[in-house]
Amino acid sequence: AVSRPETRRSTASTRRTVPVEAPEEPQRPQPLSPEVRRRFTSRAAVLLAVICLLAVGLTYPLREYVEQRHQIAELEAQQRRNAQDIASLQDQQRRWQDPAYVEQQARQRLQYAKPGEITYVVVGGPDDTGAEHHGSATGRSTTHGPSWSERVWGSVRVADRP
């Protein structure tokens, strides 16, 4: 075992007396001098100017943001309308693939008839609104504008006039 020498410390010679001071009274705030007031006012003016510059600087981007959101909403609405139009056109294309629909349209629009059928065209019927009634011997009748043959004959008459 290693022995350590013992040292004694004397505490009597190191004690000192420190005078106790009375607690300080709280100081009242002193009124602001004109110089301090002027600095406060100039600081406030600078702060106000910076805030105004930030507001003016952010106005244009904010306006652009709002306009772009409006444009996006319009484009989304247009996209929905286009999707509806596409669906309608695809449905119409499917109908035109059906031979029965093509035959029906040929009968209505071009006044075609099957061999042996008799077609009648009523001119100046009870519904004298300018539209003509087209019917066939089968009893079907539709209301449309002038037929293609009447339009061709009408254009020939118009072309013949001076």
Q: What is the pTM for the complete model shown?
A: 0.41
Percentage of the chain exceeding pLDDT 70: 64
CB 123 within 8 A of CB 115: no
Q: Encode 113-141: b = buried (16+ Cβ within 10 Å), e = exposed.
A: eeeeeeeeeeeeeeeeeeebbbebeeeee
Alpha helices in 16-144 (DSSP H): 34-97, 99-110
Q: What is the DSSP letter of 143?
A: E
**Is pLDDT at 128 greater than 60 in this prediction?**
no
Question: How many whole angstroms separate alpha carbon 126 and alpha carbon 147?
Answer: 18
Residue 79's pLDDT band (cuts 50, 70, 90): very high
- Quick: pLDDT tens for 30-71: 666 666 555 568 888 899 999 999 999 999 999 999 999 999
- The one-letter amino acid code at 24 reads E
